[in-house]
Amino acid sequence: MITFQSVLPRNMIENSMFEEEPDIVDLAKDSTSFPVVYEPRSSRLLVRGLGENDMDEEEEDCESSARLLGMSFMNRSSAQRSSSSPYTRQTQPRSCSRPSARTMVVCVFFLVIVASMTMVLYFLPGCTFTKSGCRSPNKTTPLVPVYPISSNGELFPWAQLRLPRSIQPLSYNLTLNPDLDNMTFTGRTVIKMLVVHNTKRIVLHSANLNISKATFKASDLTVLEYKPRQQIAVKFSEELKVGQYCVLTLDYSATLSHTYDGFYNSSHIDKDGIKRVLAATQFEPLSARKAFPCFDEPAFKATFLIKISRKPDYMTLSNMPKAKTTELSNGLMLDEFEKTNVNMSTYLVAFIVANFTPLSKNVSDTLVSVYSVPEKKEHTSYALDTATKLLEFYNNFFEMNYPLRKLDLVAVPDFLAGAMENWGLITFRETTLLVGKQSSPLEKQVVASVIAHEIAHQWFGNQVTMSWWNDLWLNEGFATYMQYMSLQTVLPKLDIGNLFLAVRFRALDRDALNSSHAVSTEVNTPEQVEEMFDSVSYEKGASILLMLNASLTGDQQFRKGIIQYLKQFRGLNTDTNDLWNSLTQLSTQPQNVSEMMSSWTSQKGFPLVTVSRKGDQVTLTQEHFLLTSDNATYTSRWLVGYSCDLCFHSQKQVPESVKWLKLNYKNTGFYIVHYGDGGWDALKEALSNNVSVLTQEDRASLIHNIFALSRLGRVSFHHVLNLLDYMSKETETSPVTEALLQLNNIYQLLDKRQEHSVVGRMKDYILHRFGSLMEKQTWQEEESVSKQELRSALLETACSLNKENCTQQAKVMFKKYVESGGTFRIPGDLQQVVFNVAAQSNEDWSNLLNMFVNVTYDAEKRKMLLGLASTQDPLILKEGLKGDIVQTQELPLVISTVCKGFAGYLFAWDFIQENWDQLIEKFHVGSFAMQTIIKSATSHFSTQTHLIQVQAFFSSLKDRGSQMRSVQEALETIRLNQRWMDNNLSTLQKWL
């Protein structure tokens, strides 16, 4: 890979087939704001461009041929040539002389090689070797791309993933004509543009669209397409000049996508059992180009005016309110929406053709509506109430009102993502928006969290947008942070703090791997863009914002800083430094916020802080917490704010009478602390004497940290078990759920290794350690979210370990549920426990399947699906879960659940290998769904045999997924599991 940025000379000569010299300057200007990367493939040749002192044609052709053969016998100055050189040009007599036999042989040999090379170059697919690509004597000149071949055989006038910056779109006028009977659509896109740099080309995006006509200045144009990069281009014989306004019109047709991106078809079964079809959009991050030709990058913002035709019995939705409806001559209706009053990135455009019903309410001059299929309208009131409260909160918190006149939240029956923040038209899964009237507070917590996240995006992401996907965290990290922060104020009864703490722990686990990446990292391929949607961008991004807020002193400095950031860059695109600079301007810290926070965003990982005590001296040191140290040479250092009770590489005076220390109060810092053997013993003794000596967040963080240190090899598993001795006195949710999660993970590793004696001991240990807490749990309705979380975790563990009184109670409850035809109420937080137990019986599995087919409430239906997938009967797993009853959107979740059990984890791995091509067609390489599938299928492998098998499979994929970061994570996790087993298996029996 060859990268260049500002070194591109402005007088570089491009391939003369495309542009004159002024537009070559254009290429340099196009590349000033971001690195331009060329990725050589086997079918592509990269050669150097000429500098200022160009050779004459004869000398150039000769030298380039020689260099291709690995020969450098040409010199620019004859004065430098030795007279004895066999290649010195001599004055020849005018009469011809007969060449020697040796000379003839050499010349023939030379010509054969040249001819061979010419043939090779001629037959190289997708590239052209031209004069402008020969090597210049100035070896400091950069590489220029060789243009690829478009689908019609012509050279395509662009060779980069990112579009040129010669053209800035100003507005789109879109007309879409979906045909839901034939699952096709036609469209017309009219783009008004401004010429930013002189150019003879317009390059934009289009994927799977059949362009039937292109018009520019009343003239028809030929559209070139380069499918590998989903780009199209039009060329002009005369330059478009800087400052010129122009309009490009493109007519096209396409098939509605059968995957979950672009303009795709969906369906649902109504209350009468009739299948209803609809069409919806899902554009993040590279899918708007699949619905209409466009400049599909975040920085190309424009306004949009959208028109959609439909049958009279359908309705349409888009980002803006509907302006008017016109009846067409063919009996269809044409809905026209208001032109957007904001500039939008293409990934935020959305439209839907369906038959939905709204529930609406006005708040702060905005009409808020929640849409669903008609039979589920009764499940929309909670979402509407939550959305209106959150909209008012954000308007006040950001001191900047939501800019549109309406905000729709739409439950789409078949939707892969949890939700998508399209401006003014947020789309959701039904399970993340609809709430039944008898839903549990825990179910409401899930829905409220997703709504809070997506409405926060209307500011972070929509109004201020990252310039490129490498800074995705500016969108997702902020929205994640705001979802937890806002709900703590708006809906405090949801007790969202426990959930935020748990996701911070999981972010630490992910970021401890060598396969992790920096929060802000280079992105050069579509697959890498997809892979940015992970826990680092979301949860780590939110975690470091929490840490920054905790470290800033003064009156709401963090809030004031982000308000300034939003106002300063409203309607614009930013990068990470813009945020830090805004916060620095309002900070009273002695340390620059940008300097401090760059250490957290520009490098992967986080620090391990080690506490050492000697007398009254406490020394704190840091190092990179990295579970896999093979071939790692990191010297990373992280900075934290001075207001934290922690200063790395420092010494503090602590009286010797202080028996223990606990750093990182409530785990607001994104790091792990090691206290040394004596420090851990002191903390264990303190907790044994008085659990309340630490907050529940601090107790949970101790549990998480010591398990992580055990995995690193810094503490023995014996120390882990010693700390957990105090758990018999624990009653709070976070410490218990974290301990159960860690222990259950080890139990599953042992179980899948079939280490039966140790598995039995681990089971006894868990039931003994948490048995009294399990016995105290009731099976009645519980209002407290925190207590619901606690008992669902305890009872799911108890029943999965076949604790008899737990499984018997669940069976009794399921029997009542079946006999009542589903009217008997199982508390929402206990439904998963009950359905999991029912699925272990063949008869009850069938009963559960029948209930699943007929139930209408989505959250309950999903829990039934998870129960069905938890069966330990391999035959049922193979034959029972057919695609005709399970929505494809749920497949990653089903695979994840199947992999948890011994009966299913090898079955799932075989399924993935056999169906890989179908999976990546449906979910795409690098997508979050594929990340989930890969992680689920491999996370409990711990043997060399499985490591070799997984390596071999993914290596065979090549460009079908072998380079995914999630693949590297899977291999690293297997090695870590193997290492843990090698280090601990032989001694677990005596410890348990």
Q: Which residues are catalytic?
A: 454
Determine phi and psi for 409, rounding to 5 degrees.
-120, 120
User: E strands within 355-477?
Assistant: 357-363, 366-372, 406-412, 419-420, 425-429, 465-466
Could you count the other beta carbons within 10 Å of the beta carbon of residue 821? 9
Report whether 837 contacts 799 (CB < 8 A): yes
Mapped onto helix, strand or coil, the DSSP state of residue 263 is: strand
Instruction: Tell me the C-alpha distance between 856 and 854, whole Å.
Output: 6
- 8 Å CB contact between 248 and 203: no
SS3 content of the chain, % helix, strand, coil (to 5): 45, 20, 35
CA 900 to chain centre: 23
| Calpha distance 782→794 (Å, rounded) | 14
457 is in an annotated binding site: yes
Nearest Cα residue to 222 out of 156, 309, 311, 129: 156
CA dihedral (203, 206, 211, 217) positive or negative: negative
Closest CA to 225 of 246, 237, 207: 207
168's torsion region: left (phi>0), alpha (psi -120 to 50) or beta? beta
Helix boundaries (H) for 69-156: 101-123
Taking Cα atoms as reference points, which of 146, 152, 161, 157 lies closest to residue 44?
146
Q: How far apart are CA 28 and CA 47, in angstroms?
A: 17
CA dist 128 and 669 (Å) reads 54
- Can you name the residues that pair with 219 across neighbouring β-strands? 216
Q: Are 204 and 232 in contact (CB under 8 A)?
A: yes
Which of 617, 711, 701, 710 minimizes the C-alpha distance to 664? Answer: 701
Question: Coil, helix or strand for 372?
Answer: strand
275-282, strands of its sheet edge to edge: 262-269, 275-282, 351-354, 315-318
CB-based burial, 705-721: b 16+ in 10 Å, e otherwise? bbbbbbbbebbbbebbb
Can you tell me the distance from the alpha carbon of 254 to that of 544, in angstroms, rounded to the nearest whole number?
Answer: 43
Q: Using CA atoms, how far apart are residues 899 and 896, in angstroms rounded to an integer?
A: 5
Question: Do 64 and 134 meet the contact criterion of CB atoms below 8 Å apart?
Answer: yes
Spatial contact of 171 and 191, defined as CB atoms under 8 Å apart? yes
Task: For residues 349 and 684, give the distance between their C-alpha atoms in angstroms, rounded to a whole number.
Answer: 54
For 797-905, where are the E strands, in sequence order?
none
Alpha helices in 80-195 (DSSP H): 101-123
Please state the length of the chain: 992
Q: How far is CA 622 from the centre of its chain?
A: 29
How far is Cα of residue 181 from the mean position of the Cα atoms in its chain?
A: 34
* DSSP symbols for 493-538: GG-THHHHHHHHHHHHHHHTSTT---SS----SHHHHHHTSSTIII
Nearest to 232 by CA among 293, 283, 285, 168: 293
Q: Does 921 belong to an annotated binding site? A: no
Helices in 261-403 by DSSP H: which ranges? 381-397
C-alpha closest to that of 810 among 787, 841, 772, 789? 841
| 649 marked ligand binding residue | no
Which residue in this structure is represented by tokens 């206990």? Answer: 830
Q: Write out the binding residues.
A: 453, 457, 476
Q: Write out the binding residues for Zn(2+).
A: 453, 457, 476
